[in-house]
Amino acid sequence: MCWTYHNLTSVLGSSTELVIIGLLGVLFGTCAANVCIDAGLETTDGFLPNATDCTMYVSCFKGLPYDMACPINYFFDPTLVKCSATYVCPAPSTCPETGIVKQPVAGVCAEYSLCIDGTAYPKTCAAGLAFSEAKQNCVLAADAGCIENKCATITTDPKIYGDDVCSANYYICDKAGEPIAFTCDTGLIFDATVLDCIVGECPVV
């Protein structure tokens, strides 16, 4: 907890005082290192992801970490190293402390998280497959009963999309960005061009 005092910024309002307090911390042996120094940002300034909250990030300034918040509805993308409106934050690990369990990734059908004694390993199913929590395995995508959440990537309003392969299924995104499933009536299929049901049949593969 040795770097918590940087939250005093608003109280002290002076980075000089913060540096002095930081030095005192080092002198009294309360601080060995911090996330910035660990990441090699001791002399170079830069940004790091906040390990637990992706609406936040860490700004490293002269080797000191400062907690920063992204603008509302923006999320810190560790690849672009900036807050982004389209970045989808990874779900926090919910791995049980012991045992081997495979957990689904919300809204991303082809991915799952392999938990081994509390550590999560991200995994991706082979092409055409999707993860089934019930079967604890990758299965044919059509059999997985999973809804791909594409709400964050669609820019037109209202947000409507169909399956990747021809089907009667389509999804309408609600305000929370969650897809709600609908099915075209018998004899109709969803058409991605008109974004509605049309008369037709899917080609037999």
The contact set with ligand NAG (CB under 6 A) reads 35, 50-53, 56, 58, 67
Cis before 104 (ω within 30) = no
Token pair of 116 as six digits: 């081994």
CB of 92 to ligand NAG, least distance (A): 12
Distance between CA atoms of residues 33 and 63, nearest Å = 10
CB of 99 to ligand NAG, least distance (A): 28
Q: Which residue number, 10 or 52, has a Cβ lying nearer to ligand NAG? A: 52
**For residues 75 and 54, is the Cβ–Cβ distance under 8 A?**
yes
Q: Which residue number, 46 or 145, has a Cβ lying nearer to ligand NAG? A: 46
Q: Which residue number, 50 or 169, has a Cβ lying nearer to ligand NAG? A: 50
Residue entry with tokens 């999320």:
75
* CB neighbour list of residue 47: distance below 8 Å, 6 or more residues apart: 57, 58, 59, 60, 68, 76, 81, 82
Radius of gyration of the chain (CA): 23
Q: Which residue number, 70 or 138, has a Cβ lying nearer to ligand NAG? A: 70
CB of 4 to ligand NAG, least distance (A): 8
CB of 34 to ligand NAG, least distance (A): 9
